[in-house]
Structure 1
Amino acid sequence: IAFIFPTPNKCRMCTNGTNLTCNVELLQGLLYCPVFLLGFLINAAALRAFIAKRDHWTDTHIYMINLAIADSTFILFIPFRIYDAFFCLPKTRLCTFLIHFHYCNMYASILTTAFIAVHRYLAIRFPLQTRFWSRKKETSVCVCVLIWTFLVTINFVFQDANKPEYLWTCYERCDNKTLDARFLVVIVFVGFLLPFLIIAFCSSQIIWIIFKVHNKSEEMKSIARMVTANMIVFFVCFTPVHIGFVLNYFHTPPLNWESNFSPTHTFFFVSEWIASTNCCFDAFGYYFLLTRYYL
């Protein structure tokens, strides 16, 4: 989703080398490096595993591939973020595209994960019906197309939010350019809260169904552990950044950005990095376990 909140101009601050916020942003640039390297390797291996099984794809595989595409394209553009943290990219239309692309892929991952949770719940709750549905891949393809269509539409509707003249730096909006409150509602409620509630409901139902079964197999125990881990990872990765969205929207920035340190600013950028690590956890939690268990 095309959005970034007001922050100080780190290109100006870094010239004096004394601002704590600048140091935090430089540290964030360093932290993105292992995310890129690890995420690239893991997702490349996952995509290779999917291609190797292309003759046996089910609707589950379609959702997983869509998630892999969202995470992989997100990772491929992280080097721009790393470069901007150290050297600052010029404020051009490229920056607008990068902001759009960054959030579009992040929310594609969130929404796809929610649909995977629904599909996994149906597979446990209605196993016979779901096995029949699994032969109909057209439904999952349509769902994935609708996800991307929805996100592209949102980017188009709010395309003026990140024009170059509205940016302090390539990934940062000017503090005097207010954000449409409707956009915040879409991001927080539709982009995060609704998917989280769906994931929490489906995951808790799966765990409860497995818990009630006597003589549980090792496969069912593994599924319960994986479902629990996926729900925790989703909550940990995406909750902070959306709290940061709300805090920044209601936060009044200091009059002098160069001499004042903003904890809210730092919290948002750290939480953004935490959200980016989800692209690595997705591969561990879904792709490789998919080769062993039907979900």
Structure 2
Amino acid sequence: MTEITQAVNNTCNKESPSNMKVLQGLAYLSVFLVGLVLNIVALSVFFAKRATWTGTHIYMLNLSVADCALILFLPFRIYDSFLCLSNLNLCSILISIHYINMYASIFTVTAISIHRYVAVKFPFQTRAWHSKKVARFVCGAVWIIVLAISIMFSIANSPSHLSSCFERREKMPVELLVVLEVLGYLVPLFIIMFCSIQIILVLLKKKNEDITLEKNIVGIVTANLIVFVVCFTPIHVGYLLRYLDSDNSYNIIWLVCEWIATTNCTFDSISYYYLLKVFYSEASKR
């Protein structure tokens, strides 16, 4: 452990960060600034009419909490890019927080997709599923699952397995890789794709008077699916590349994939901002 700490200290004692580190810091700085502003704006709209909250609002609040938690810890990543963090214990905690919030976001988006599908496909038979109690239970279950996975595989992010802050010395354990790829990505992707396609098909078949509302919902559902695929597909491909990589030839690709996944916190805020505008606009017409 002393040798690892000494190696990190030597890395941090360099006179100036590398060009890659500077670019990495600027990239995360842009996500932090844009994400912070967008989430503040979205939350201001979100809490403007708290009395009218539904189950959907509970899910969106949970998504916002996960995104905001990720954004608030990005300054550590930025600091490490420019000045270097040498406290590996802190780094271990930061890595865990990053993955906890990312997968809390993934599972919450999946829950929202199921919620929308049930609401559109079975609007009268399943009103109980739309309640705030169900939404709170599901959101609570999401955090329990991601925390349990994080604790189960906490050794993978321990200081002894880090060469520097946010950089592993060893490959990701194959058990963790399978859990993240299957439970954390493939299953949510299948559910979101199925629900999104079904929602779009149902709405396109309807011949209601409010065509504008249906178009807005179809647009939001389609955008959410695209954002999920664009943001989370690269990092899960990156997991496989890093596991198969023996000489760090994919390191730059991995850094880009990791950054792309982080940008999801900005797209989420845009998504639920417009969703809330549509909701309140329709509510005001009633």
Q: Is TM > 0.5 for Structure 1 vs Structure 2?
A: yes
8 Å Cα contact 2:12-2:85 kept in structure 1: no
**Counterpart residue number, 2:103:** 107
* Aligned partner (choices 192, 201, 222) of residue 194 of structure 2: 201
Stretch of structure 1 that moved more, 103-112 or 22-31: 22-31
What's the secondary structure of 1:237's corresponding residue?
helix
Kindly provide the amino acid, as one letter, of the partner of residue 154 in structure 2.
Q
Distance across 2 between alignment mates of 1:286 and 1:36? 18
* Aligned partner (choices 255, 268, 279) of residue 269 of structure 1: 255
**Counterpart residue number, 1:143:** 138
Q: CA deviation at 1:33?
A: 1.1
Q: CA deviation at 1:289?
A: 1.9
**Counterpart residue number, 1:231:** 225
Matches within 5 A, 1:81-160: 81-134=77-130, 136-160=131-155
Distance across 2 between alignment mates of 1:83 and 1:171? 12
Q: CA deviation at 1:230?
A: 1.0
Distance across 2 between alignment mates of 1:244 and 1:14? 29
Q: CA deviation at 1:206?
A: 1.1
Kindly provide the amino acid, as one letter, of the partner of residue 187 in structure 1.
L
Matches within 5 A, 1:205-284: 205-214=198-207, 217-253=211-247, 262=249, 264-284=250-270
Kindly provide the amino acid, as one letter, of the partner of residue 85 in structure 2.
L
8 Å Cα contact 2:39-2:64 kept in structure 1: yes
Kindly provide the amino acid, as one letter, of the partner of residue 212 in structure 1.
K
Distance across 1 between alignment mates of 2:159 and 2:129? 47
RMSD: 2.4
Q: CA deviation at 1:13?
A: 10
Alignment deviations for residues 222-270 of structure 1 (CA, whole Å, 9 cap, x no partner)? 111111111111100100010000110111116xxxxxxx3x1011110
Distance across 2 between alignment mates of 1:123 and 1:209? 11
TM-score (norm 1): 0.86
8 Å Cα contact 1:11-1:169 kept in structure 2: no
Stretch of structure 1 that moved more, 221-230 or 231-240: 221-230
Distance across 2 between alignment mates of 1:123 and 1:32? 37
8 Å Cα contact 2:45-2:276 kept in structure 1: no
Stretch of structure 1 that moved more, 125-134 or 100-109: 125-134
Q: CA deviation at 1:52?
A: 2.3
Percent same amino acid among aligned pairs? 46
**Counterpart residue number, 1:259:** none
Distance across 1 between alignment mates of 2:10 and 2:149? 30
Distance across 1 between alignment mates of 2:77 and 2:10? 14
Alignment deviations for residues 169-227 of structure 1 (CA, whole Å, 9 cap, x no partner)? 111111xx343211101111101111111111111111111222346611101111111
Alignment deviations for residues 128-150 of structure 1 (CA, whole Å, 9 cap, x no partner)? 2344543x211111111111011
Distance across 1 between alignment mates of 2:8 and 2:195? 43
Long gaps (5+) in structure 2: 1-6
User: Greater helix share, 1 or 2?
Assistant: 2
TM-score (norm 2): 0.89
How many residue pairs get aligned? The number is 274
Distance across 2 between alignment mates of 1:83 and 1:104? 21
Distance 1:122 1:34, change over 3 A: same
Distance across 1 between alignment mates of 2:144 and 2:129? 23
Stretch of structure 1 that moved more, 280-289 or 185-194: 280-289
Q: CA deviation at 1:151?
A: 0.9
Distance 1:17 1:33, change over 3 A: closer
What's the secondary structure of 1:77's corresponding residue?
helix
Distance across 2 between alignment mates of 1:26 and 1:32? 10
Long gaps (5+) in structure 1: 1-7, 255-261
Matches within 5 A, 1:48-87: 48-87=44-83
Aligned: 1:286 with 2:272: yes
**Counterpart residue number, 2:167:** 172
Distance across 1 between alignment mates of 2:55 and 2:73? 28
Distance across 1 between alignment mates of 2:139 and 2:265? 18
Distance across 1 between alignment mates of 2:12 and 2:48? 49
Distance across 1 between alignment mates of 2:277 and 2:9? 45
